[in-house]
Amino acid sequence: MVVFNVVLLPLYVLVTIKIAAGRNWARLTYAFLVALECAVLVTYLTLPLELWILWRLFGAQSNAWFKLMRKN
């Protein structure tokens, strides 16, 4: 996330300057960048849940369940 912000920092500075100058495209660009950051943040927040699901799917109990289901 930090790398993402460092790479986009010059773009944020430019957009902020253009917003101060009253440019509408800069306002829209800023909204897009915020939406992009929110999407990245949600991805990072769901990563632990996804890893836990994978752990459960390939754990000993789930292996036994899948074997039982294949026999039926």
Residue matched to tokens 């036994």: 64
Structural domain span for residue 50: 7-71
In a domain, 51, yes or no: yes
In a domain, 1, yes or no: no
- pLDDT for 1 equals 63
Which whole number is the average pLDDT over 3-21? 88
Helix (H) or strand (E) holding 71, with range, is helix 60-71
- pLDDT for 52 equals 94
| Residue 14 pLDDT grade (very low, low, confident, very high; cuts 50, 70, 90) | very high
| Euclidean distance between CA atoms 62 and 17, whole angstroms | 55
Cβ(30)–Cβ(70) under 8 Å? no
pLDDT tens digits, one per residue of 17-70: 999 999 999 999 999 988 988 888 888 889 999 999 999 999 989 989 999 899
How many structural domains compose the chain? 1
- pLDDT for 55 equals 94
In a domain, 2, yes or no: no
